[in-house]
Amino acid sequence: MDGLILPLLLMLVVALPLILSTRKQKKLMAEQQEMQSSLTEGDRVMTTSGLYATVADASDDTTIDLEIAEGVVTTWLRQAVRERIVADTDEDIVDTETSADADSAQEELVGAEKSDEGAQVAPPIEQSKK
C-alpha cells in the first residue's frame, strides 16, 4: 500500500496542470468564438495578421466583410478576426497631477522647445529611378 502512494502522488502532480491548462484553453476559445459571432457592422477589429479594419457586413456565418480603407472592402473568414478594438476616450483618463507638477512640466516643455530651435533637418535623399 505504501508503495502506491508515491506513484499516485507523482501522477497527480503531472496530470493536474495539464487538466487545468486544457480547461483554460477551452474557455479562451469559447470567448473568442463568442466575440467573432457577435460582431456587427461598424465595429473596429484587428485581424490575426495585424490589419485594422471596420466591419462592413457581418450577415454571413462563416465570412465577414471588412473595410480596410475608405471604399475598399475585403472578405475574410470570421476566424481571422483576432479582437474587437475599443476606442479609448480622453474623458476616461483622470488627471491626478497637482498644479505645481503641471507648472513644472510646462516649464520643462518650454525649455525643450528653446533647445530645438537650432536643430537642422537634412533634406530628403533623392533616389534615381531605373
Residue pLDDT, tens place only, 82-98: 999 987 654 444 444 44
Asked if residue 103 is part of any domain, the answer here is no
How many structural domains comprise the chain? 1
Average pLDDT, the chain: 79
Cell of 26: 477551452
Query: Does residue 59 form part of some domain?
Result: yes
Q: Is residue 44 part of a domain?
A: yes
Predicted pLDDT at 88: 64
pLDDT per residue as tens digits for the range 29-85: 999 999 999 999 999 999 999 999 999 999 998 999 999 999 999 999 999 999 999
Residue 93 falls inside a structural domain: no
Residue 105 lies in a domain: no
Residue, of 11 and 114, whose pLDDT is higher: 11
Tally the residues of the chain: 130
Show the domain range for 76.
11-85
Question: How far is residue 37's CA from residue 110's CA, in Å, rounded to a whole number?
Answer: 51
**77 lies in some domain:** yes
**109 occurs within a structural domain:** no
